A and B are shown apart, each in its own frame.
Chain A
Amino acid sequence: GAGVSQSPSNKVTEKGKDVELRCDPISGHTALYWYRQSLGQGLEFLIYFQGNSAPDKSGLPSDRFSAERTGGSVSTLTIQRTQQEDSAVYLCASSFLSTNLGQGETQYFGPGTRLLVL
């Protein structure tokens, strides 16, 4: 079956430009997560979606970062006025929504978008 897909796979941009990264979760998965993988910081949580709402945005590093999800499916992570420190691999994961408070469901990861800000 289809897994989590992300596009583009690679993105090179100039400092100060805006970028949009896309995530298509596994069909039927209502929970969607964005993470960032960088050399200095390892794997960091950015934002979580439950359906189309984002109850946890605690990991977004600055107000230049935003994300939305439409139709309970596709999500877009937008980085405005990119900086060199934004260079990283941006990972998306999806899962079924946990029906038990305090018990997470297995998250399935996409291949990531490698972002390079020059």
Chain B
Amino acid sequence: AQSVSQHNHHVILSEAASLELGCNYSYGGTVNLFWYVQYPGQHLQLLLKYFSGDPLVKGIKGFEAEFIKSKFSFNLRKPSVQWSDTAEYFCAVIETTDSWGKLQFGAGTQVVVTP
């Protein structure tokens, strides 16, 4: 069965530090990849997505992610975080043999940015 692994459950860092969150998936076929964010008290929002083309995708709020097919990875990065980036981040995958678009989520990474 498909699984999505996020390497860290909790990350604490200071403002202006760089952030990288790891995501790996186990499916060997073609995938669509997403990062969603859930700010405190808010609902899930899309940060960025990869369907095809340039493996380096840029999203909102200065986030980017790189799809490395050979490593089954889709890591999220931000060069300099802000206090407002405190949130929970979810990696998600759609297996493209599944035309229904069912999202399979990782366990999430709680990110806390300290002033």
A binding-site residues for B, Cβ under 8 Å: 31, 33, 35, 42-45, 48, 50, 55-56, 59, 91, 93, 95, 98, 101-112
A-B pairs, 5 with minimum CB distance:
A104-B101, A102-B96, A43-B105, A109-B44, A104-B94
The answer for the CA separation of A106 and B108 in the assembled complex, in Å, is 19
- Identify which of A42, A98, A102, A110 contacts B43 (C-beta below 8 A): A110
Chain B residues, CB < 8 A from A110: 43
Interface residue count on the B side (C-beta < 8 Å): 27
A87 to chain B, nearest CB (A): 18
The answer for the CA separation of A50 and B98 in the assembled complex, in Å, is 13
With contacts A42-B108, A43-B105, A111-B43 known, is A102 near B30, CB below 8 A?
A: yes
- Identify which of A107, A108, A112 contacts B101 (C-beta below 8 A): A107
Question: Are B101 and A31 in contact (CB-based, < 8 A)?
Answer: yes
Question: Are B102 and A98 in contact (CB-based, < 8 A)?
Answer: no
B110 to chain A, nearest CB (A): 12
Chain A residues, CB < 8 A from B43: 91, 109-112
Main secondary structure of the interface of A (DSSP, over half): strand
Question: Are B96 and A108 in contact (CB-based, < 8 A)?
Answer: no
Main secondary structure of the interface of B (DSSP, over half): loop
Chain A residues, CB < 8 A from B32: 103-104
B19 to chain A, nearest CB (A): 21
The answer for the CA separation of A112 and B45 in the assembled complex, in Å, is 12
Question: Are B100 and A102 in contact (CB-based, < 8 A)?
Answer: no
Question: Are A45 and B103 in contact (CB-based, < 8 A)?
Answer: yes
Q: Is B104 an interface residue (CB 8 A)?
A: yes
Residues 55-93 of B, flagged 1 when their CB comes within 8 A of A and 0 if not, give 000000000000000000000000000000000001010
Question: Are A33 and B97 in contact (CB-based, < 8 A)?
Answer: no
Question: Are A102 and B99 in contact (CB-based, < 8 A)?
Answer: yes
Q: Is B51 an interface residue (CB 8 A)?
A: yes
Question: Are A105 and B90 in contact (CB-based, < 8 A)?
Answer: no
The answer for the CA separation of A30 and B43 in the assembled complex, in Å, is 21
